[in-house]
Amino acid sequence: MGSCQAQDMSHCFIIQEHILYKKSYTHPLLRCLSTEEGIHILQEIHSGCCGAHVGTRILANKALRAGYFWPTMKHDAIRLVSKCEREIISDNGRQFQGRKIQEWCQGLRIKQRFTTVAHPQANGKVEVTNRILVQGIKRRLERVGGNWAEELTSVLWAYRTTPRGSTGETPFSLVYDTEAIIPAELGMPSHRVMNFSEECNENLLRKNLDLIEELREKSLSTHTKIQEYHDQFLQQK
């Protein structure tokens, strides 16, 4: 990077107490990290004690919402997610048990899982059941083992701190009107953690309470559109 280019970009950054921050259009100041620090944050968000094993876009978005930035964060999120173990869950149809599809799955390191023959009613459910909490519990149990009830708290935390498509907000922020502090922010304090003021925070929460109704209306509108699409699809069938 040349000196002229660096000078042009300098207005996008600020230094506070010897820490470099990037100015953001939609969030508070973002703490600038090295690539190694950024990957550590992604790993903590993705598969840490409260990890959600989310996709690339949501993973990078959660890092931004937590108050971090580094130039290759999207690329690093793609690489991290691509290394996750993948699996296909299907019924016991012969089309899923053929030699070609088995070789294809092995080549891509994809696990094949089949529903229980003794419970055929599960075959129809498994292909439409992608409930986030159930998936989260299964992933954590496969990784660490143990009682599912012991993992439920971490899975719920991950769900509540991940933006939902219907509102663009996290369930936590809709309830408390602020984003939760994720475990990664304790080891690598973000700008909001380092500059937290309980008195100012209380005043801000009171001022923003009226905005919750707008988000609720947006969620209701999205739900109505989904219901209308579903009803239209059934009529066409």
Indicate the pTM of the whole model: 0.53
Q: What is the CA radius of gyration of the chain?
A: 22
Domain assignment of residue 73, given as a range: 10-196
Q: Can you give the pLDDT at residue 88?
A: 59
pLDDT, greater one: 90 or 35: 35
Domain presence at residue 230:
no
**214-233: average pLDDT:** 78
pLDDT, greater one: 104 or 139: 104
Looking up residue 109, the CATH number of its domain turns out to be 1.10.340.70
Domain presence at residue 204:
no
Domain presence at residue 227:
no
Q: pLDDT tier at 126 (50, 70, 90 boundaries)?
A: very low
Q: Can you give the pLDDT at residue 172?
A: 82
pLDDT, greater one: 158 or 52: 158
Q: Which region, left, alpha or beta, applies to residue 162 given φ > 0 means left and ψ of -120 to 50 means alpha? A: beta
Domain presence at residue 214:
no
Give the pair of three-digit tokens for residue 139: 């992933």
Look at residue 39 and give its three-state secondary structure: helix
**200-204: average pLDDT:** 72
**94-114: average pLDDT:** 69
**DSSP-assigned letters across all residues of 48-73:** STT-----HHHHHHHHHHHTEE-TTH
Q: How far apart are CA 89 and CA 92, in angstroms?
A: 10
pLDDT, greater one: 129 or 67: 67
Find out whether 61 and 179 touch, Cβ atoms under 8 Å: no
Domain presence at residue 107:
yes
Share of the chain above pLDDT 90, in %: 12
Q: Can you give the pLDDT at residue 65?
A: 85
Indicate the number of domains in the chain. Answer: 1
Where do runs of H (alpha helix) occur along the chain? 3-9, 35-47, 56-66, 73-82, 99-107, 121-126, 132-144, 148-160, 171-176, 184-187, 191-194, 198-208, 212-236
Domain presence at residue 141:
yes
Domain presence at residue 84:
yes
Q: How far apart are CA 10 and CA 5, in angstroms?
A: 9
Domain presence at residue 219:
no
